[in-house]
Each structure stands twice: as structure tokens, then as C-alpha cells.
Chain A
């Protein structure tokens, strides 16, 4: 029987060291394999210092679900990094015209999609999730809901990854 129909279990949160480590490995593998970029662990202090100098950011959010378990992975990165990743991914020569914002959004969405999928494969490989099309928005400063987040540095540029989990209450079978 497929484990797709197994009882819902909560995913571990980013506050769990193993889960955070799995997320960093997901970010690192995506950065290195698909974008030829170098990813290193970051921390709150250096993130804040570097972030202060960044004028614009892109946030790409990928929602995922398996039955009642729903969540999202949001990757926040400077627009300049997104454009650099675009060039690496698309093989764009600097002499070619700059890509439009729509394509850059698509690129950051795919980055988040890959990070989300790679992370879920690491922390819940026996289950299959539905991943929704990414939503991407431009912001002036990175948002932080206050919960644990993974901070990384990609090509010397700060990146933040937040995971939101929401498990809807299960209906208990009626008693008696």
C-alpha cells in the first residue's frame, strides 16, 4: 500500500538541528548543481549587516501539501543575486540584453521550487507532496515572522529560507 495514504505526521521544524542541516544541504545542492554558485552557512548578525546594504529583494514562496499537512518554503534573496543566478542558469553572456523581471521571477521561483523539493525529499523521502506553482514578489526589506529561519550566503550574498507548517486538525472518528 502506498504511504501516500498513511496517517499525517508533522514535519520537523527548522529549529531542529537536523532539519536545519537538511535545509542547508538542499540550498547548497541547488546553488552548486544548477546555478554553479557557492553556498555557505550564514548567521543572524552577518545577515543583518549585509542586508542593510541591499536595496531590493525577491521573495519566492512555494506552498506544499500532503492531505491535511500544509506548509510553505519561502526563499528571500537580493535582486542582484537573482540576476546573477539567472545568468548562470541560462548561460547568458553579459553582452546580451538584460532579462525582464518576469523571467527573473520565474528563475527565483524555480530556485525555491528546487530547494523545497530537495528539502522535503531529505526530511520525508517516503512521502510525496504536491508542490504549487511559486509566487514571487519584490520587497524593499526581507520579512521575518520571528520563527527559526535558515540563513545562508550564496556567492557572498545573504539569503534567508523560512518554512511555515500548518497541520489542519484531523477529524476524530465519532465515539460510541
Chain B
């Protein structure tokens, strides 16, 4: 599985990468981007199965990136989308549902919570494709 982390904080990306290593998932590669525009470029260049993205970022935010992705449902049919954001508003959560987001993880979160999300996704979504 190839994972893309999109977050404008290098520390948050490093923390997520550390948790990925602790999770019981078969990871081929972890890519990083610091905003939605960079994330979209990487998605176009690589076959990514799991996207972990923040919402509030400079240049292009995570919601706009997810909207772009949803415009090409065939191209990214096998891309599981997870939001990791400080924005826990009901409006944003409803919006996420419309954008085919599998999980909405609100910051702050403990590493164990993210690890459990990754393990659950691996069990339910990626087991068949591996």
C-alpha cells in the first residue's frame, strides 16, 4: 500500500509517519505534501491507496483537494480518504461525508487512535486488494 500524508506541519507529518510504522499495515511507500496542490500532483504521479489529509492549509486546503478528487471518481476509485483536522465542526463533517471520506479524525488525537484507524482500514478495505 502507498500512503500520502498532506499536512502543512512537518512535525505532524513526521508523527503520522511514526504511527504508520507502528500500525499493522503493509506499507510500500509513504509520500508527503504540505498542501492540497502538492498532494494532487503526487496523486497524479503515483498510485496511492490511502490519503491522510489536513483541512486548513495554505495554497490549497484539504477540502478543495478532496473536491478535485471527487471530480474524477473513476481515476481515484481505489483511494481511501481520511481527514485529520482540528476542525471538528458539524458543517465540515457533513461536507466530508459528501466527499466520500472514510474517516474523520479530529486533532488532538492519541497515536493509538490513528493506529486503530489504519488497522481497521487495512482489515476492511485493503485486505482484498493486497
**Chain A: residues with CB nearer than 8 A to chain B?**
2-4, 29-30, 33-34, 86, 89-91, 103, 106-107, 109-110, 113-114, 116-118, 120-121, 124-133
Distance in angstroms from B37 CB to nearest chain A CB is 14
Contact check, B86 vs A116: say whether CB atoms are below 8 A apart. yes
Task: Answer yes or no: B24 CB below 8 A from chain A CBs.
Answer: no
Q: A108: nearest residue on chain B (CB-CB)? A: B11
Known: A90-B11, A90-B15, A103-B10. A117 touches B90 (CB 8 A): no
Q: Are B11 and A106 in contact (CB under 8 A)?
A: yes
Q: B18 and A110: CB pair below 8 A?
A: no
**Could you tell me the distance in whole angstroms from the C-beta of B5 to the nearest C-beta in chain A?**
14
| Measured CA separation A91–B36 after assembly (Å) | 27
| Interface of chain B residues 86 through 105 with chain A (CB within 8 A) | 86-92, 94-95
Q: How many A-B Cβ pairs are below 8 Å?
A: 84
Q: Which residues of A contact B94 (CB under 8 A)?
A: 2
Asked if B86 and A113 make an inter-chain contact with CB atoms under 8 angstroms apart, the answer reads yes
Q: Does B106 contact A (CB under 8 A)?
A: yes
Contact A128 B15 (CB under 8 A): no
Q: Choose the segment among B38-46, B74-82, B107-115, B117-125 that binds chain A (4+ C-beta atoms closer than 8 Å).
A: B107-115
Give complex CA distance A3, B87 in Å. Answer: 15
Instruction: Out of B8, B9, B11, B107, name the residue touching A117 (CB < 8 Å).
Output: B107
